[in-house]
Each structure stands twice: as structure tokens, then as C-alpha cells.
């Protein structure tokens, strides 16, 4: 079987978000299929590890700081970091040394921050096939989210300048994988990866599928409407509160709005006060085990303001047999393509979804085949085994 090298900005136990979770899952699943999987992970020091039968080469960062470190940095330091990271010539010799030593058949860049897009040119010079996974907007935006007060329609001048070398280096990539059609098309339309073959492969998010669950099912109160994720203004959580406030009194009195996750204290207070003003029941859970939280919910709501590249929590929820209502932004609509009646733009539309589901006028269609790990791995195998 082929030797696969997965490069990333950090590897377990260092986890900053979904990118690191997905990278570990991909490495372990490809290893289980028989591929000889190695990981090149940026870290605070050089170290070799073996984690779940995956060989991990940790390499000390070659920038003014490591983006997964815990230190806070001022705007000037962040600007310098971005300038270096866009085409990190200080990392070039170390990356060349590692690629020459490991000799992979395929290089997968799973998260490019800290690794730097220069690795694509290094691999090209060594005639190593390269595949990049688009998990965020880090190649387009210095904040990786293309959001400033509202979603950015296009790149601003500063981001266009800071990402110019990333765009230039993307010409050396052979294959590009979007974790959604939306995030893939966003990069292609901005002129990235002009020589690469394009693929859409969803993240592997479901460890087990609950075929039959105990439904609170809107059959008896309290009815639990859940939000699971980071508590931040870009997540639009206040929309849930506004939507519930517009229900009839006998309906909203039965509902508890359940918020799980951590985030900005001021925003949490704002959400709490909004609920109090509307006379609604709200509960903040803090950090929770996702499966335990989801198993206690009647419906999950994903009200994001920003264009989420994917929406891992949606797939996790479907795997637990919990219906999802999601906002029409980013990659969310394609994940709920079989349930268009559960998509909304504004609070009034979410109110109507909750109301119709409460009285049984709409039904959620659980189609999970495209999200099952075995089916996603089959697509990965087809892509990797091509010469």
C-alpha cells in the first residue's frame, strides 16, 4: 500500500478545533485500511511519537510563535506571523529534509497554518503528489473565517496581499479536497488550485449510528431545543431565542433552550438577559460530552451567521437520531439537502419550523449513507489510489 504523509499545524493531544479532530480521524482510518501513514505535525519542540499505530514526527515551529500555543499576541506580532507563514522560507530546509527521509507517495496537507504553503513547492520539486484539504478559509483570510461584522463577499485588500504567496504556491497542488462544495468553490472562484483536480469529501464525524433512540419527541414537556458549539456572536445564538419568543405562549412555556459549549462571557450574559426579557427558559451547560447532550435533545439548531465551511455538529446530531434545523449559510444547506424544510434565513422562518414540527406537519428525513465512515473512506481510497 502507498505511504501517506499527513502534514498539519498540530496533532493530538494538541486540539484547537475540528481540524485537529478530523486530521487524527483521517490518519487512523487510513492506517486501518493498510496505508503506511505518517504524520508531520508542527509543535513547540522536535519529538517522534507513535499514536494509535500512526507514526508522528513533531517538528519545532519556524515562525515567531506557534499558532496553537496558549500565549496572547499583539496585532504587530500577528501580522509578522502571517507574513512569514504565507511562504515560510525558514522552514523550507527542514521540510525538504523530512520529505526526503520519509519519501511519501502522497503528501496530504490537512491544516496548512504553521506548516506553510511552501511545503507544496518543496513537494513539487521532489516530485511528490500533493493533496490539500480545505477545512477553513485560512488561504483566503488572515482570520480564517472571511467574516468582519458580516460575511465578506470577497477578499479585502490586506487579506489579498497576505495570502498572495499561498495562492501562488497552490499551483503546485495535484488534488484539492473540499469538506463541502461551498468551501471548495469559494477557493476555485478566487483563482486557487488552478492545476489541481477537485474533490468533495465530507469529514468523518459519526463513530456509531443510533438506529433507534428514546425520543422526547415533542410528545411531552419539557421540549429541549439545543445548541452545541462555541458561544460567539458569529454563531447567531440569539436567533434561537428570538424565534422561540414568537411561538404561542402554550408552546414556548413547554420549551427549554439548551446551550452547550464555552465562549465569550459577555455574550453569554447577553443571551441570558434576552431570554429573561422574553420570559423564556434557558439553560447553559458549559462543556459537555456531545453524545450525552444530543441524546437528551428534541431538536438541534445551528443558527450560524458566518459561512461555516462544514458543520460537524450537524452530522454528529444526525448520527444520534436528532433532527437539525440549520441556517442557509456556507456548507450547512448541502448537509441538510434531504431536509430543505428545516433550513431558515430569519427568526420567523425558524419559528415556523419549530411550530410545524411541534404539531407534526413536517418530518425529518434521516439519510446518513453519505456521512457513514465506510462510504467516506471508499471515496478517499479512490482518490489516493489514482496514479
- Summarize pLDDT for 204-249 with one digit per residue, the tens: 988 777 766 545 455 578 899 999 999 999 999 999 999 999 999 9
Q: For residue 327, how many other CB atoms are within 10 A of its CB?
A: 26
pLDDT mean across residues, the chain: 93
Q: What is the DSSP letter of 128?
A: -
Contact 204/225 with Cβ under 8 angstroms? no
Hey, where are the domains in the chain?
A: 3-203+373-384, 223-369
b/e sequence 236-272, b meaning 16+ C-beta within 10 Å = bbbbbbbbbbbbeeebbebbbbbbbbebeeeebeebe
pLDDT mean over 121-126: 98
What does the alpha-carbon distance between residue 124 and residue 133 come to, in Å, rounded to a whole number?
A: 17
Q: For residue 149, give the 3-state DSSP assignment.
A: coil
Determine whether domain 3-203+373-384 maps to CATH 1.10.3470.10: no
pLDDT of residue 153: 86
Q: For residue 207, give the 3-state DSSP assignment.
A: coil
- Summarize pLDDT for 254-284 with one digit per residue, the tens: 999 999 999 989 999 999 999 999 999 999 9
| CATH superfamily entry for domain 223-369 | Glycogen Phosphorylase B; (3.40.50.2000)
- Tell me the sheet residues that pair with 108: 6, 131
What does the alpha-carbon distance between residue 262 and residue 228 come to, in Å, rounded to a whole number?
A: 9
Lowest mean pLDDT among 22-36, 153-167, 268-282, 361-375: 361-375
- Summarize pLDDT for 1-16 with one digit per residue, the tens: 899 999 999 999 998 8
Query: What's the Cα-to-Cα distance from 67 to each of 147, 303, 379, 387, rounded to whole Å?
Result: 19, 28, 31, 34
pLDDT mean over 17-34: 93
Comparing 294 with 17, which gets the higher pLDDT? 294
Q: Is the pLDDT of residue 381 over 70?
A: yes
pLDDT mean over 328-341: 94
Domains 3-203+373-384 and 223-369 share a fold: yes
- Summarize pLDDT for 63-103 with one digit per residue, the tens: 999 999 888 999 999 999 999 999 999 999 999 999 999 99
Radius of gyration, CA atoms only, the chain: 22
Contact 289/283 with Cβ under 8 angstroms? no
- Summarize pLDDT for 300-333 with one digit per residue, the tens: 999 999 999 999 999 999 999 899 999 999 999 9
Contact 199/218 with Cβ under 8 angstroms? no
Comparing 302 with 360, which gets the higher pLDDT? 302
Quote the percentage of the chain above a pLDDT of 70. 97
Amino acid at each position: 500500500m502507498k505511504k501517506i504523509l499527513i502534514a498539519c499545524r498540530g496533532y493530538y493531544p494538541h486540539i484547537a478545533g475540528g481540524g485537529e479532530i478530523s486530521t487524527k480521524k483521517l490518519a487512523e482510518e487510513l492506517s486501518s485500511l493498510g496505508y503506511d501513514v505518517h504524520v508531520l505535525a508542527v509543535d513547540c519542540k522536535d519529538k517522534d511519537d507513535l499514536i494509535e499505530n500512526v507514526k508522528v514526527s513533531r517538528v519545532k515551529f519556524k515562525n515567531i510563535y506557534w499558532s496553537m500555543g496558549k500565549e496572547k499576541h499583539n496585532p504587530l506580532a500577528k501580522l509578522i506571523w502571517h507574513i512569514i507563514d504565507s511562504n515560510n522560507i525558514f522552514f523550507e530546509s527542514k521540510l525538504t529534509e523530512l520529505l526526503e527521509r520519509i519519501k511519501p507517495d502522497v503528501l496530504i496537507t490537512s491544516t496548512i497554518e504553521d506548516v506553510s504553503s511552501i511545503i507544496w513547492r518543496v513537494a513539487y520539486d521532489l516530485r511528490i503528489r500533493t493533496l490539500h484539504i480545505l477545512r477553513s478559509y485560512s488561504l483566503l483570510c488572515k482570520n480564517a473565517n472571511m467574516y468582519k461584522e458580516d460575511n465578506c463577499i470577497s477578499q479585502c485588500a490586506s487579506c489579498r496581499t497576505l495570502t498572495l504567496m499561498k495562492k501562488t504556491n497552490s499551483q503546485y497542488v495535484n488534488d484539492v479536497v473540499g469538506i463541502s462544495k461551498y468551501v471548495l468553490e469559494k477557493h476555485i472562484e478566487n483563482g486557487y488550485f488552478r492545476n489541481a483536480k477537485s474533490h468533495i469529501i465530507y469529514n468523518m464525524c459519526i463513530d456509531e449510528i443510533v438506529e433507534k433512540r428514546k425520543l422526547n419527541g415533542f410528545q411531552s414537556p419539557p421540549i429541549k431545543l439545543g445548541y452545541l458549539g462555541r458561544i460567539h456572536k458569529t454563531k447567531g445564538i440569539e436567533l434561537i431565542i428570538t424565534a422561540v419568543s414568537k411561538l404561542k405562549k402554550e408552546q414556548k412555556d413547554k420549551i427549554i433552550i439548551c446551550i452547550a459549549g464555552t465562549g465569550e462571557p459577555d455574550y453569554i450574559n447577553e443571551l441570558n438577559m434576552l431570554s429573561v426579557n422574553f420570559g423564556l427558559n434557558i439553560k447553559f451547560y458549559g462543556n459537555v460530552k456531545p453524545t450525552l447532550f444530543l441524546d437528551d435533545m428534541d431538536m438541534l439548531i445551528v443558527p450560524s451567521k458566518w459561512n461555516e465551511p462544514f458543520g460537524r455538529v450537524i452530522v454528529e446530531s444526525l448520527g444520534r437520531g436528532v433532527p437539525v434545523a440549520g441556517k442557509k449559510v456556507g456548507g450547512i444547506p448541502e448537509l441538510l439537502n434531504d431536509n430543505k424544510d428545516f433550513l431558515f434565513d430569519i427568526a420567523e422562518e425558524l419559528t415556523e419550523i419549530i411550530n410545524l414540527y411541534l404539531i407534526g406537519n413536517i418530518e425529518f428525513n434521516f439519510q446518513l449513507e453519505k456521512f457513514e465512515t465506510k462510504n467516506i473512506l471508499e471515496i478517499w481510497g479512490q482518490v489516493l489510489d489514482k496514479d
